Amino acid sequence: MYSKFDITTARYGDVKDMHYHLAILPWGSTEPHNLHLPYCTDMLHAQAVAFEAAEKAAMNGVNAMVLPGIPLGSQNPGQIELPFCIHASQRTQIAVLEDIVESLKKQGINKLLIMNGHGGNNFKGMIRDIMIKNPGFLITVVAWFSILPLKDFFEEKIDDHGGEQETCVMLHYYPELVNLNQAGDGHHNDFKIEGLNDKTAWAPRDWAQTTKDTGVGNPKKATAEKGKRYIEAVMDRIVKFVTDFALNDSLY
Ligand SMILES: [Zn+2]
């Protein structure tokens, strides 16, 4: 569907006379999501949330352009061996981000919001690097999936990857892409070293040791209705942030 807030379909004929306050960059990953969700689930989610936020922020007088989604995320050992799972190094990711920032700067667009859809992505170091080198350019990041406590919306206590939350949101936005009959139960194994489970320390999980169906969290109680209720609450927060970020000249 055509939108002047979505660069995938927008035409220069409309864009040239507009003033855009910011760009929104959906950023996901390419990896198996249990057995029943698309590989690019994280990018599709981030795009859908970004499109909806841009359309709603427009009602507050904000023009935000959603850039093409980036499907290049960070992966874990044990997941990267699975067919077509793509690991993008931090080096690659910062190169992509720097090129986008350089381009926007030349066009007088000095605000970028990264809409992150993948829990394994971490942009904080890259954003610091780029903002130090580019005074006056503001980058913020929203991880839509972790803004609100999941326990207020979903039944499963463990819900980490390809589980109830992601499946509900996919059923809400793209029901035709979900095959819930195919889903595994998302059973996972903890580390045997307690400090890694109680967060005294961190190490990347080995996905092959962690789960058999690539999921962490059972998706079988997912419904589109739960996804809709959750996204409505998340969207209120995001639209308010996009509006505030767009209309304030500085963060302080
Ligand atoms: Zn995901």
Residues above pLDDT 90, as percent of the chain: 100
- 68 CA → ligand 1 middle, Å: 18
Measure 150 CA to ligand 1 centroid, in angstroms: 15
188 in any annotated domain: yes
**Dihedral pair phi/psi, residue 24, rounded to 5°:** -115, 130
What is the Å distance from ligand 1's center to 132 Cα?
A: 30
Which helix (H) or strand (E) element contains residue 66?
Answer: strand 64-66
Q: How far is the CA of 182 from the centre of ligand 1 (A)?
A: 17
Stated as kind and residue range, the H or E segment containing 116 is: strand 111-116
Residue 5 falls inside a structural domain: no
Q: What distance in angstroms lies between residue 127's CA and the mean position of ligand 1's atoms?
A: 22
Q: Is residue 145 part of a domain?
A: yes
167-186, pLDDT tens digit by residue?
999 999 999 999 999 999 99
- The answer to whether residues 241 and 15 touch, using CB atoms and an 8 Å cutoff, is no
What whole-number percentage of the chain has pLDDT above 70? Answer: 100
Q: Is 252 part of a structural domain of the chain?
A: no
DSSP state of 22: E
Question: pTM of whole model > 0.85?
Answer: yes
Ligand 1 centroid distance, CA of 33 (Å): 6
79 HSE (CA, 13 A, CB side): 27
- Is residue 79 pLDDT above 90, yes or no? yes
CA of 161 to the centre of ligand 1 (A): 5
Between the CA of 119 and the centroid of ligand 1 the distance, in Å, is: 7
Q: How many angstroms does the Cα of residue 235 sit away from the middle of ligand 1?
A: 18
Residue 34 maps to which CATH number?
3.40.50.10310
Averaged pLDDT for residues 38-42 = 98
The per-residue pLDDT for 186 is 98
pLDDT of residue 89: 98
Query: What mean pLDDT is predicted for residues 213-235?
Result: 98
pLDDT value, residue 202: 97
77 CB burial (10 A radius; 0-12, 13-18, 19+): middle
| For residues 1-21, average pLDDT | 96
| Max intra-chain CA distance, the chain | 59
The answer to whether residue 1 sits within a structural domain is no
Q: What average pLDDT does this structure show over 29-57? A: 98
Q: Structural domain of residue 45, as residue ranges?
A: 12-247
Residue 65, pLDDT above cutoff 90:
yes
For 155-169, write each residue's pLDDT tens digit.
Answer: 999 999 999 999 999
Cα(17) to centroid of ligand 1, in Å? 37
Residue 2 within a domain? no
In a domain? residue 165? yes
Residue (of 40, 114, 34) closest to 72 by Cα position? 40
Q: Does residue 47 carry a pLDDT above 90?
A: yes
In the chain, the amino acid numbered 212 is: K
Q: Taking a C-beta distance cutoff of 8 angstroms, is the pair 172, 152 a contact? A: no
CB 222 within 8 A of CB 171: yes
Residue-level pLDDT at 184: 98
**pLDDT confidence bin for 1, thresholds 50/70/90:** confident
Average pLDDT, the chain: 97
Give me the number of domains the chain comprises.
1
- Does residue 17 lie in a domain region? yes
Mean pLDDT of 133-154: 98
39 C-alpha to center of ligand 1: Å?
A: 9
Q: What is the pLDDT of residue 40?
A: 98
The rounded Å distance from CA 71 to ligand 1 centre is: 11
32: CA distance to ligand 1 center in Å? 9
Distance between Cα 133 and ligand 1 center (Å): 31
